[in-house]
Amino acid sequence: MTLRTIDTLGDLSGKSVVVRCDLNVPLKDGQITDDGRIRASLPTLELLLGRGAKVVVISHLGRPDGKPDAKYSLEPVGVRLGELLGRPVTFVDGPPADAGEVDGDVVLLQNLRFDPRETSKDAGERAAYAAELAAFGDVFVSDGFGVVHRKQASVYELAEALPSAAGTLIATELEVLDRLTESPEKPYTVVLGGSKVSDKLGVIDHLLPRVDSLLIGGGMLFTFLAALGYKVGASLLEADQIDKVKGYLDRAAELGVDLIVPTDVVVASKFAADADHEVRPADDIEGGSFGSSGIGLDIGPETAKRFAEVVASSKTVFWNGPMGVFEFDAFAAGTKAVAQALSEVDGLSVVGGGDSAAAVRSLGFEDDAFGHISTGGGASLEFLEGKKLPGLEILGWQA
């Protein structure tokens, strides 16, 4: 693969490097609940500091709608970053244009999305904002994999404004994702969950000819059950996708792909942590205690066992999307079973970012239990769909 890396930037001693990280971590009451993305940014930052550079870190956090909002401040991220780096981090709380000279080997600017130009549809507005960011550095390193599918000022135009290269995180992500699409060791299994099947159609379409098994869980499973002619009660359903799903079921059969849809489901009386619930056959969800008002919130134990067996016997596994509402203990068993099986894979196991990464950590799994945990759910999916990602193309990416 072709990609401009840090080595292409030459001697960095004494230079200022603007580094686009993805520090979009979850916060609760101003406290970071999962610092995985901060930890993922460390190798690139430590490499640059080790080469004598000063680093100016930039990132977004949440969706503050283009204006300052205290609950989306990066200040707590700066504190945690300093703890992990073992050195002070100078936090600049204000717009880049007003910052002036800033001191310190590590500087963190305030949330990029406090300025509407960061995500503007107007290329000129984005370029103007990128120019303000470029004033902080001699070169630019792009390392926020979670945003490379977006044409945003700090991702695209900034890479044009300064000599630019990819950081180690992006390089690692691409190496893993390239293996998933171009040279996966067989048997190759993809596990897809999450709420909407419409979010995963492109991945299914692109990967079906490449995989041996495709396992379907999460809220999207009910559209598959509906495509098989089953009633799904009050479960999440995208009725407008049923015909497409029927097409994928037919195509999987033609290709010899084992497309596995749950045979049992945990059905609840309502969407709540303390809801009454029972296990129902997937073809008779409405025949239980809750009738047509029952809501499926997890794959059942029979399905979880089968999924785990398929995953554990594979040599390559990509998983994106939880199997159920893992945030509620009563509906986390399916996700936990898949995660446990994934941790036992004798080969390449990839957790595809987003909710999947949050799930495995919240369920007590360590990052090193898996071959790779992606930092970019949406970017990972678009890459696996075969789409061109602007934040990679501007760095010279060619598969």
Quickly list DSSP for 127-169.
Answer: HHHHHHHHTT-SEEEE--GGGTTS--IIIIIHHHHS-EEE-HH
Catalytic residue among 104, 347, 371, 378: 378
Q: Is 150 annotated as a binding residue?
A: yes
Catalytic residue among 294, 354, 376, 391: 354
Find out whether 15 and 3 touch, Cβ atoms under 8 Å.
no
Q: Is 61 annotated as a binding residue?
A: yes
Q: Tell me if residue 354 is catalytic.
A: yes
Rounded-to-integer distance, Cα 276 and Cα 295, Å: 11
Q: Is 73 annotated as a binding residue?
A: no
Q: Is 296 annotated as a binding residue?
A: yes
Q: Is 62 annotated as a binding residue?
A: yes
Across 342-374, b (16+ Cβ under 10 Å) vs e yields bbebeebbbbbbbbbbbbbbbbebeeebbbbbb
Find out whether 175 and 383 touch, Cβ atoms under 8 Å.
no
Q: Is 327 annotated as a binding residue?
A: yes
Find out whether 75 and 93 touch, Cβ atoms under 8 Å.
yes
Catalytic residue among 196, 244, 251, 315: 196
Q: Which residues pair with 18 in a beta bridge?
A: 56, 140
Q: What is the dihedral of CA 238, 295, 334, 356, to 10 degrees?
A: 50
Q: Is 355 annotated as a binding residue?
A: yes
Give me the phi and psi of 128, to 5 degrees please: -65, -40
Rounded-to-integer distance, Cα 173 and Cα 380, Å: 8
Rounded-to-integer distance, Cα 345 and Cα 380, Å: 20
Q: Tell me if residue 378 is catalytic.
A: yes
Q: Is 37 annotated as a binding residue?
A: yes
Q: Is 284 annotated as a binding residue?
A: no
Q: Is 23 annotated as a binding residue?
A: yes
Catalytic residue among 4, 20, 37, 306: 37
Q: Is 60 annotated as a binding residue?
A: yes
> Which parts are annotated binding residues for ATP?
200, 296, 327, 353-356
Annotated binding-site positions for substrate = 22-24, 37, 60-63, 113, 150
Which residues have a catalytic role annotated?
A: 37, 196, 354, 378
Annotated binding-site members for (2R)-3-phosphoglycerate:
37, 113, 150
